[in-house]
């Protein structure tokens, strides 16, 4: 396993053009060493016979049906959502031009 020490942190910081204080170097060295120790523990877990997970949920989920609903309008037939718009143009939100 690779040893993470202050020299390694300083080298990476230099490559990334970061200026770190001695306290930050020490803190990062301890934090990263702890993370790598945790990863090492995970690598030692016996996963024989465990199927890889493809999705984060069961495959039994079914998509809901799309339902078309009328958009809420004001008394004059304009979309209600436009009442909070800063500026309206052609019954829609007016936005800055994009070039």
Contact 11, 18 (CB under 8 A): no
pLDDT band of residue 2 (cuts 50, 70, 90) is: low
Is 10 contained in some domain? yes
Distance CA 13, CA 3 (A): 16
Is 79 contained in some domain? no
Is 83 contained in some domain? no
Distance CA 96, CA 48 (A): 57
Is 21 contained in some domain? yes
Is 58 contained in some domain? no
Place of tokens 């016996």: 46
Question: In which domain, by residue range, is 39 found?
Answer: 6-43
Q: What is the pLDDT of residue 4?
A: 87
Q: Name the domain count of the chain.
A: 1
The CATH number of residue 23's host domain is: 1.10.20
Report how far Cα 4 is from the mean position of its chain's Cα atoms: 27
Please state whether the predicted TM-score (pTM) of the whole model is above 0.75: no
Q: CA Rg, the chain, in Å?
A: 28
> pLDDT tens digits, residue range 42-95?
999 999 998 888 777 767 777 888 999 888 988 988 889 898 899 999 888 999
Is 68 contained in some domain? no
């Amino acid at each position: 396993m690779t040893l993470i020490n202050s020299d390694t942190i300083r080298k990476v910081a230099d490559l990334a053009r970061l200026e770190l204080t001695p306290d930050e170097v020490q803190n990062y060295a301890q934090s990263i060493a702890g993370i790598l120790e945790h990863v090492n523990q995970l690598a030692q877990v016996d996963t024989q016979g465990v199927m890889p997970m493809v999705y984060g949920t069961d495959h039994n989920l079914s998509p809901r049906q799309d339902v078309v609903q009328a958009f809420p309008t004001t008394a004059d037939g304009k979309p209600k959502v436009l009442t909070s718009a800063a500026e309206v143009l052609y019954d829609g939100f007016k936005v800055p031009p994009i070039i």
